[in-house]
Amino acid sequence: MKAPAFWQRDGLLPALLAPLAAVYAAATARRVAAQGWRAPVPVVCCGNATAGGTGKTTLALDLGARLAARGLRVGFLTRGYGGRVAGAARVGDDTAAAVGDEALLLAALAPTYVGANRAASARLAVADGAQVLVMDDGLQNPTLAKDLSLLVIDGEAGFGNGRVIPAGPLREPVGAAAARCQAAVLIGADRTGARTHLPPHLPVLAASLHAGPEAAALAGRRVLAFAGIGRPAKFRQTLLEAGLDVAELRGFADHHRYNEAELRRILADSGRISALPVTTPKDAVRLPAAWRDRVAVVGVRLEWADPAGLDALLDSVLGPAP
User: How many structural domains does the chain have?
Assistant: 2
Q: Are strands 74-78 and 43-47 parallel, antiparallel or unpaired?
A: unpaired
193 and 238 co-located in one domain:
no
222 and 313 co-located in one domain:
no
CA atoms of 221 and 161, how far apart (whole Å)? 37
CA atoms of 263 and 270, how far apart (whole Å)? 10
Q: What angle do CA 97, 106, 282 make, to 5 degrees?
A: 55
| Helix axes 56-69 and 307-318, enclosed angle (nearest 10) | 70
DSSP for residue 102: H
What strands, in cross-sheet order, belong to the sheet with 148-154? Answer: 89-90, 112-114, 74-78, 132-136, 43-47, 148-154, 183-187, 204-211, 300-304
What strands, in cross-sheet order, belong to the sheet with 245-251? Answer: 245-251, 222-227, 276-279, 296-297
26 and 87 co-located in one domain:
yes
221 and 203 co-located in one domain:
no
Q: What pTM does this model have?
A: 0.94
158 and 266 co-located in one domain:
no
Alpha helix stretches (DSSP H) within the chain: 12-16, 18-32, 56-69, 96-99, 101-107, 118-127, 174-178, 232-241, 260-272, 281-284, 307-318
CATH number at residue 164: 3.40.50
Distances (CA, A) of 170 to 106, 157, 162, 178, 188: 25, 12, 7, 12, 19
23 and 104 co-located in one domain:
yes
DSSP for residue 185: E
172 and 234 co-located in one domain:
no
279 and 257 co-located in one domain:
yes
Mind listing the pLDDT tens digit of every residue in the chain (322 residues)? 577 889 999 999 999 999 999 999 999 999 999 999 999 999 999 999 999 777 999 999 999 999 999 999 999 999 988 788 888 999 998 888 899 999 999 999 999 999 999 999 999 999 999 999 999 999 999 999 999 999 999 999 999 999 999 999 999 999 999 999 999 999 999 999 999 999 999 999 999 999 999 999 999 999 999 999 988 999 999 999 999 999 999 999 888 999 999 999 999 999 999 999 999 999 999 999 899 999 999 999 999 999 999 999 999 998 877 6
90 and 189 co-located in one domain:
yes
CA atoms of 31 and 27, how far apart (whole Å)? 6
Domain that holds residue 124: 5-209+303-318
